[in-house]
Structure 1
Amino acid sequence: MVLLFSPPLHRQRHQFVIDFIKRNKPKKVVDLGCNECTLLRKLKFHREIELLVGVDINSAAMTKKMYELAPISTEYLLPSYDQLSIELYQGSVTQKDGRLRGFDLVTSIELIEHLHLADVERFSEVLFGYMAPVSVIVSTPNSEFNPLLPGLTGFRHSDHKFEWTRAEFQSWALQVCLEHGYEVQFTGVGLAPPGQRERVGFCSQIGVFHRLSGRDDARLLPGDDAHEIFSYTLLYSIAYPSLRDNNVLRRILVSEVLYWAEQLKRGWMEEKTGEGEEASALCQTQGGGGERLSERQAEMEEKQTGSAGRCVCVPLAKLWSCCPRVQAMSGSVSHLSRFLLDDPLVKLTQDGSAVLVDDQEQDQEEEEYDDLEDTGCTEASQCSLSAVQQEDWEVDL
């Protein structure tokens, strides 16, 4: 078949769903007949969705691309506050499964025409009577458009069991609304050439169903055993990392604190030794108050912490003011202190007001100097030893 539409018709159908989601912001969405998860892979980027589910009878088609639904590496490194879980089930849309009840949106894109007519009634009962979502989008080929498709004889796909005219589709949709308490608007995608649009309609006809407000009996009631029906097989499940998860929040917050505490320490050390002015302006570049580490902090830096060697004391208030991301995740300095209190990766002062950062560079330099003094090496022998070490490293590399 020659491509007649730009963008391609399947993209127009998917864009119709995406536009609906942008307007209505459903939190729980299921795509019936998801096949290779093409629509789901687009919807995962719309983070108003909290639960995204795909169902198809063909498990091989789903598993072919299902791992592309997984979070990318940056979503683990920089998770947001959005929540998203994705599940894929193998099963027939003519069977009931309690896990799919009460969704905000169900999509059935070019699916119904793959069912035998005897199964369409069961599909209607499962979708509108049992699942009872708030909204449903159903698309199906418009057979009146077929004569405009070059080279087409018969149905558009070898697996199609029927293809409805506009009148047939509307008759089915209106009967569903009458039986199950919905209303429907008819539209479509894929425009006919000018002058023929009224005569043939859209290439893909679409019904957008909304459950009537008075129909609350669809929700699970206390004691209702409908949720005990599990006819589908779970093939895939993934929960995206979210800062609403305290474990994820703590991990990311600790990472940010350790990084910026080290940066502040280096900035103060370089300022102290006069090695650079850029480091002393660290807080200004991060949107902080532009203050430098105080003399009191300098005194504390000189203190010893047992076997750990010297430490630089970085106040949480300073760190909080210098790092907007730490501010956003912790909310306040007191909350930040509580988050860090029991974390093994973070060393706090006794009053919990500051992070202790090991001054490893200084300790290492002192240890090397002491070792050289103990061995009686002269300045010349030190240079010779350094040259030999560098030569050995280059050989190893």
Structure 2
Amino acid sequence: MEPMFSPPLHRQRHQFVIDFVKINKPKKVVDLGCNECALLKKLKFHREIELLVGVDINGATVKKHMYGLAPLSTDYLQPTYDKLRIELYQGSVTQNDARLRGFDLVTSIELIEHLTLPDVELFSEVVFGYMTPVAVIVSTPNSEFNPLLPGLRGFRHSDHKFEWTRAEFQSWAHKVSSEFGYEVEFTGVGEAPPGQQERVGFCSQIGVFHRIRGRDGCNILFSDDAEDAFSYTLLYSINYPNLHDNNILRRVLVTEVLSWVEKLKKRWMKEKTGERFNSFTLCQTEGGGEECLGASEWHMQMEETQTACGAEMNNLVEQYCRGVSQNHDGVSDEESSKLQSCVSVPLAVLWTSCPKVGALSGSLHNLRHLLMDEPEVKLSQDGSALLVHIQEQDLEEEEEDHNELEDSGYAEARQCSQSAEQEEEWDTNV
């Protein structure tokens, strides 16, 4: 048997809520009667929502499905500035709980028909009189549509206590609106066959309520003492990772900084191997020892290679020195004799040349502050630059790779075969 509605009716109801969220962008949303959390699992991707809450009287069902609301791996790997907290409660919609007051949107999707009529009155008082949200979406079956549903006898579900006609639903909605300071508009999902829409209406009728008075102007039916009541049981809560958390911000920033510095380091090493490693001359002291190459000499060398390395590389400062055993107590002569190169990368270069680093830190001062106590990052003494150590063997390996490519004639061979490769790839693609 082919489905009567496409998409299925439950998806149309959820899509109605999603469309409302996209337009109105509520920050705090609660779904009453959340059941298997299906609507919440869709709403969590709309990150204009900062607090997403589900309430259901059946705690076992909520517990069975609540972990589907946990953050995905991408939420941890690529956190954003969007805040999201999810809370799930076990409780009855006929009882008030102070944690649900002041929300932007309350949804009640196919819920009230499961309540007795006296409980519907309590539901109205709790939602509209106590919670006083900015907007409320209520959907419920339209009994006038039932004759069009094949094989249906009685109510649509065995647990339904009633199913209203359009007139009955609108009568309740107007009464609630008048009593608690709301205005309501009516619509629905699940259209009738052509020519019958006017006669039977939508399969699921929907009332969208908007508060027209502030909370102080509403009829609060509970005493001040009741405002502090916590009648629901918290079953699940999770804060999604976001860049407002300094620990997460530091982790992401450090990762981005190290990644960008590694790129600069590789470009620097390629430039050095291009000049030949033996072209470096260590400055000699009068005593025969070696001292670090000065910043001015390095800048002069970098100016000659501006085209090859890029403008930002001109801001790097190399310190190239040999360890001296007498200056490093406890270090063997063999270890101290190893040449080491330290490239100093000014934070100003990182902040201006890497857009993501600039966006994450906000300012050069913040960048310095966020990196200051990070063990993975070593800053210069004045905190103005990041130090990257390069051992001599790294340069020698880079030089060997460079020489091997030249000796192999790879560059010439690649130029000669370029047109043939392009033609071969074109044939493959076709």
TM-score of the two chains, using structure 2 as the length reference: 0.76
Contact 1:310 1:363 in 2 (8 A): no
CA deviation after TM superposition for structure 1 residue 269, in Å: 1.1
Match of 2:356 in 1: 325
Q: 1:274 deviation in Å?
A: 2.4
Equivalent position amino acid for 2:375 in 1: P
CA separation in 2, counterparts of 1:229 and 1:21?
29
Aligned to 1:337: 368
**Partner SS state of residue 236, structure 1:** strand
Partner deviation per Cα, 1:87-139 (whole Å, 9 max, x = no partner): 00011111111000000000000000011122111111111111110100000
Displaced runs of 4 or more, over 6 A: 303-308, 363-366
**What secondary structure sits across from 1:82 in the alignment?**
coil
Assess, with a 3 A threshold, how the Cα gap between structure 1 residues 171 and 292 changes in structure 2: closer, same or farther. Answer: closer
Deviation at 1:188, TM superposition (A): 0.4
Structure 1 counterpart of 2:420: none
Between the aligned partners of 1:167 and 1:295, the Cα distance in structure 2 is 76
Shift in alpha-carbon separation, 1:227–1:310, aligned structure 2, 3 A: farther
Structure 1 segment 145-160 matched on structure 2, within 5 A: 145-160=145-160
Find 1:315's aligned residue among 346, 360, 364: 346
What do you get for the CA RMSD once the two structures are aligned?
Answer: 2.6
AA aligned opposite 1:319: L
Alignment partners' CA distance in 2, 1:116 and 1:302: 85
Q: Secondary structure at the match of 1:22?
A: helix
Code of the aligned partner of 1:201: G
Matched letter for residue 353 of structure 2: C
> 1:86-165 alignment to 2 at 5 Å?
86-165=86-165
Q: Distance in 2 between matches of 1:296 and 1:251?
A: 24
Instruction: State the percentage of identical aligned residues.
Output: 72
Shift in Å, 1:330: 0.9
Are the counterparts in 1 of residues 342 and 389 from structure 2 also a CA contact under 8 Å? yes
5+ long unaligned stretches in structure 2: 277-308, 398-430
CA deviations on 1:250-283 (whole Å, 9 max, x unpaired) are: 121112112211221122112211299xxxxxxx
Q: Which residue of 1 aligns with 2:10?
A: 10
| Aligned match of 2:62 | 62
Work out the CA distance in 1 between the residues paired with 2:322 and 2:170: 81
Residue type at the aligned position of 1:38: A
Residue correspondence of structure 1 range 220-235 to structure 2 within 5 A: 224-235=224-235
Give the superposition deviation at 1:356. 1.2
Which is worse superposed, 162-171 or 335-344?
335-344
1:291 aligns to what? 311
Match of 1:359 in 2: 390
The answer to whether the 8 Å contact 2:181/2:218 transfers is no
Cα offset, 1:215, TM superposition: 4.7
Tell me the SS of whatever aligns to 1:359. strand
Displacement of 1:68 after TM fit?
A: 1.4
Aligned to 2:81: 81
TM-score, with length taken from structure 1: 0.83
Higher alpha-carbon Rg = 2
Distance 2:155 2:374 in 1: 64
Asked if the contact 2:316–2:346 (Cα under 8 Å) also holds between the matched residues in 1, the reply is: no
Match of 2:380 among 349, 354, 360: 349
CA–CA distance in structure 2, aligned partners of residues 171 and 34 of structure 1: 26
